[in-house]
Structure 1
Amino acid sequence: MVFINILDKWLRGLATMIVGGVATCAVAGTPLTVVTEEFAPYSYVESGEVSGYSTEVVRAALARAGIDYSIQIYPWARALQMATARPNVLIYSIVRTPQRENQFQWIAAIAPRNVYLYKLAARQDIQIHALADLKPYRIAANRGDVVEEQLHQLGLTADLSAKDVFSLQKLIAGRVDLMVATELSIEGVCQRANVSCALLERGMQMPEISGYYVAASLGTPVATVQRLRQAFVQLRNSDAMRQSADKYGVTPVK
């Protein structure tokens, strides 16, 4: 009887090891498709490589988790569609909203978000002091971006583009009155559009929603998500996230 009990415990232990090993191999052996948008200094292409603060942090977490991956930059609407429709997709820097809460497996916050309205400095006829003042104006936003969602909730219609640089071009051409950007990202947008940021004037801050996150598609294995969550905790505890934030001039998450 004692021998049977010992054998039973040994077999259960062996089964647990096998299942755990299979799960580990499944995580390590399933490459993730990682998607984001052109959004300097958080994500951008430099010398053929996807770089930036968020990219650096995501790469570090994936390395700690031992997960194979490939990173691609797409227009935001396409990146969002991939992350909502396909398994094994990781998306960053995505804003966490109540509408998106059940569409993803949320992994970690990576940066705060402070967004402002921008206009041409020469357009002194545009005076915005409150959200109600936005009614008469055409406001540019990226298709699928949280700004589009926010403007819709405010009863406003957004003039949609695939990329921020197209919104800036519309602003310069007078096709829209306002666009939305962060203080950090607007510099990158101006650079890509070959436009001087001195032509722009920062206006009112948009209502805060949440910070920028990393999230996984619903079809991504739970084991993968758990390992990535642990990896991000380790990054914060090691101070690596703050060091990356300092490198790119980004405020780190607290």
Structure 2
Amino acid sequence: MKTAVRVLMLVVSLWLSGGMPAWSQTVQLASYDYPPYMLGGTLPGSPGPVVQVVREAFRRAGIPIEITFYPFQRAKRLVEVGEVGGIFTLKVTPERERQFMFSHEPLLQQEYVFYAQADSPLVFSGDLHKLPNVVMGLVTATSYGNRFDEFSKTLPATQKDYSNSHEANFRKLIAGRIPLIICSRQVGDAILRRLEATHKIKVIGPPVEVANSYLMFNPSVVAPATIIEFDNQLHAMRKDGTFQRIFDNYFYSMRKPP
């Protein structure tokens, strides 16, 4: 990844100049409510497996962090203006990669699917260009993977209905205000459980795409060496099984009866 090469070059430069940072400074990170992966204190218990993974990777690195939850658009803006050092999770896009740095190791891999009302006649064959010409619910400034992102650019504005969150889109769908939305399957299913509406909504067709999401850093705030060290620990967690164990334990606990 080009970003990783740029980070490595910066680290070497800092090392040669004696400018490698100490780990004493707390890294401020932003996140947002994205069930079941990041819960932000909206529900009792675990904050979600991705939050646990991020905390553990920084703990192993000996780097203090503070994670604050915001509405998605605000969290993204805070990183852009440098008020916090990073945000998780986001997908890599060419526009973002020109300004920010991403962890090399992904935090999430998600299937993106279309949701419609349970009695909807809409179908999706797997070919985006054969989708019915209906209004589609999207979240502002959100990537759904390269395939869908490119396709959405070809849609007229009248076919795109934007909200500030995935939950807002599901509420519109449930109320019949829009006929179709796209969302990560795990996230969509978690939102439907939260809204007690699993019987009202269905997935139509196969996944549109399987996409990775990462921790995105503002390199003017977070030292390149910090990004490298986070990546090293995240890689080690995958290798020793901790990464998968955190996810497995979380989803096992969700299945246990109360």
Report TM bin, short chain: 0.7 to 0.9
Instruction: Encode CA deviations 1:117-162: one digit per residue, 9 max, x unaligned.
Output: 00001122x2333312335211111111113945532425431111
Distance in 1 between the 2:35 and 2:214 partners? Answer: 15
Alignment deviations for residues 175-194 of structure 1 (CA, whole Å, 9 cap, x no partner): 111111222112221233x2
Q: Give the drift of 1:206.
A: 5.1
Identity %, equivalent residues: 20
Q: Does 1:187 align with 2:189?
A: yes
- More deviation in 86-95 or 231-240? 86-95
Counterpart for residue 63 of structure 1: 59
Question: Residue 74 of structure 1 corresponds to which residue in structure 2?
Answer: 70
Matched, 1:29 2:24: yes
Query: How many residue pairs align between the two structures?
Result: 229
What amino acid sits opposite 1:60 in the alignment? E
Instruction: Report the 3-state secondary structure (helix = DSSP H, G, I; strand = E; otherwise coil) of the residue aligned with 1:198.
Output: coil
Aligned mates of 2:81, 2:151 — CA distance in 1: 25
**1:237 counterpart SS class:** helix
Contact 1:96/1:210 (8 A) holds in 2: no
Could you list the structure 1 runs, at least 4 aligned residues long, displaced by more than 6 angstroms after superposition.
none
Quickly say closer, same or farther: Cα 1:182–1:81, change in 2 above 3 A: same
CA distance in 1, matches of 2:191, 2:34: 8
TM (norm. structure 1) is 0.79
Matched, 1:106 2:107: no
Find the aligned partners of 1:91 and 1:175 in 2 and give their Cα distance: 31
* Residue ranges of structure 1 left out of the alignment (5+ in a row): 1-15
Contact residue 84 and residue 217 of structure 1 kept, 8 A: yes
Contact 1:95–1:211 (8 Å) recurs in 2: yes
Task: Quote the Cα distance in structure 2 between the aligned partners of 1:205 and 1:33.
Answer: 38
Q: Distance in 1 between matches of 2:70 and 2:205?
A: 29
For residues 213 and 155 of structure 2, the distance between their equivalents in structure 1, rounded to whole angstroms, comes to 24
CA distance in 2, matches of 1:88, 1:224: 14
The structure with the largest alpha-carbon Rg is 1
CA contact (8 A) 2:79 2:85 kept: yes
Moved more, 35-44 or 76-85: 76-85
Q: In the superposition, relative to structure 1, how do residues 48 and 104 fare at CA in structure 2: closer, same or farther (>3 Å)? A: farther
Separation in 2 of the partners of 1:235 and 1:134?
40
Aligned residue number for residue 11 of structure 2: none
